[in-house]
């Protein structure tokens, strides 16, 4: 696994973009020109206290009104304003990995090594990442590809612990009539997302997802990001109980490819949309290990 850590990224010693370097103007234009009808698919879930979260690494989403309309009117009246201008402002507490979100390249390590061979001891501080934070991720506008594997076992969705391997992905691509190309964002529909916010206990009990060979099948094709309708993209629990989060290590650390988690893909799969213009932008939270996002598909 550590072979790629011996050398710097193919994009240079100082690179912090990883596969984001593949998001060229030509690929953006090609994706935008593919839009035929303007139909839009929202691929995100609503962020609320109903969002599932995994302790101890994640904490619940909390939101409260910090300043309300009547407080602000009273303060402005005291300052001499006469037009009763009320405003409402909230305060939010959350991890950056709540709801539909994307992982920054600095989210995972292999031992003390991060993407591009960076030393986690030098990068990870009490106040965020000095390098590889989400602020370095470029806006994603590229071709999206949906691989629907939800019916592999004859049902509407796959069960926890069900490995989605490279052969499964290849067959799904063949069935959809698409070939994975450099610069693509590949989204995997397992059907598990139907439980998000509906039955969180079951959603968090495990998940179907890809294994490392499937991840390598995708990264070897120079994809920019891999997303799934589950909480971690990879299969949980791993059939090899001596291995934890190995897909994250390969994809983020070894390959510089982003992971997009907790996607809402049922509508795309229902309408059998195999390729589309994919757009995702992350807020520039400096030093953050990820960010909630609202990706869309345009067809």
Same domain as 223, residue 280: yes
Residue 4, pLDDT score: 47
Burial of 281 (0-12, 13-18, 19+ CB in 10 A): middle
Same domain as 258, residue 110: yes
In a domain, 56, yes or no: no
Backbone angles phi, psi at 262, to 5 degrees: 60, 45
Same domain as 208, residue 113: yes
In a domain, 105, yes or no: yes
Calpha distance 178→279 (Å, rounded): 19
Domain that holds residue 82: 62-93
Same domain as 75, residue 200: no
In a domain, 22, yes or no: yes
Same domain as 74, residue 110: no
Instruction: Please list the pLDDT of the chain residue by residue as tens digits (299 residues).
Output: 444 454 567 899 999 999 999 999 999 999 999 999 999 999 999 999 999 998 788 889 999 999 999 999 999 999 999 999 999 999 999 999 999 999 999 999 999 999 999 999 999 999 999 999 999 999 999 999 999 999 999 999 999 999 999 999 999 999 999 999 999 999 999 999 999 999 999 999 999 999 999 999 999 999 999 999 999 999 999 999 999 999 999 999 999 999 999 999 999 999 999 999 999 999 999 999 999 999 999 99
CA-to-CA separations, 105 to 50, 74, 150, 217, in angstroms, rounded:
27, 46, 28, 19
Residue 54, pLDDT score: 83
Tokens in use for 65? 């009104």
What value, to the nearest 5°, has the Cα angle with vertex 94 and ends 113 and 98? 70
Calpha distance 128→291 (Å, rounded): 13
Specify the DSSP element, H or E, that contains 261: strand 258-261
Calpha distance 119→110 (Å, rounded): 10
Residue 102, pLDDT score: 98
In a domain, 52, yes or no: no
In a domain, 54, yes or no: no
Same domain as 117, residue 77: no
Cis peptide before 237 (omega within 30 of 0): yes
**How many Cβ atoms sit within 10 Å of the Cβ of residue 271?**
12
Same domain as 67, residue 168: no
Residue 8, pLDDT score: 61
Same domain as 191, residue 246: yes
Tokens 């030093």 — which residue?
287
Specify the DSSP element, H or E, that contains 144: strand 140-148
Residue 180, pLDDT score: 98
Cβ–Cβ under 8 Å, residues 103 and 258 = yes
Domains of the chain: total: 2
CATH number at residue 170: 3.50.30.50
Cβ–Cβ under 8 Å, residues 177 and 218 = no
In a domain, 32, yes or no: yes
In a domain, 51, yes or no: no
Same domain as 174, residue 33: yes
Residue 1, pLDDT score: 44
Same domain as 280, residue 152: yes
Same domain as 214, residue 88: no
Same domain as 222, residue 168: yes
Backbone angles phi, psi at 208, to 5 degrees: -75, 150
């Amino acid at each position: 696994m550590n072979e790629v850590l011996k050398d710097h990224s193919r994009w240079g010693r100082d690179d912090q973009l990883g596969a984001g370097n593949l998001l060229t103007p030509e690929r953006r234009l090609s994706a935008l020109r593919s839009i035929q009808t303007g139909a839009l698919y929202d691929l995100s879930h609503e962020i609320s206290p109903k969002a599932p979260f995994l302790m101890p690494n994640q904490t619940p989403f909390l939101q409260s009104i910090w300043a309300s309309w009547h407080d602000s009117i009273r303060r402005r009246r005291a300052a001499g304003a006469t037009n009763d201008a009320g405003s409402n402002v909230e305060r939010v507490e959350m991890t950056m990995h709540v709801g539909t979100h994307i992982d920054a390249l600095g989210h995972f390590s292999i031992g003390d090594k991060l993407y591009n061979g960076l030393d986690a001891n030098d990068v990870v501080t009490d106040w965020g990442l000095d390098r590889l934070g989400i602020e370095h991720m470029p806006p994603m506008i590229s071709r999206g590809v949906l691989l629907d594997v939800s019916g592999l076992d004859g049902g509407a969705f796959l069960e926890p612990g069900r490995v989605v391997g490279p052969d499964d992905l290849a067959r799904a691509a063949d069935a959809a009539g698409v070939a994975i190309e450099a610069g693509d964002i590949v989204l995997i529909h397992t059907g598990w997302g139907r439980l998000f916010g509906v039955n969180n206990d079951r959603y968090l009990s495990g998940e179907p997802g890809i294994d490392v060979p499937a991840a390598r099948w995708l990264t070897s094709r120079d994809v920019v990001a891999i997303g799934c309708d589950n909480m971690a993209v990879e299969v949980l629990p791993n059939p090899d109980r001596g291995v934890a989060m190995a897909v994250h290590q390969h994809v983020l650390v070894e390959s510089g490819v982003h992971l997009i988690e907790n996607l809402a893909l049922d509508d795309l799969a229902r309408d059998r949309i195999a390729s589309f213009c994919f757009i995702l932008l992350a807020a520039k939270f400096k030093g953050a290990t990820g960010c909630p996002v609202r990706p869309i598909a345009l067809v």
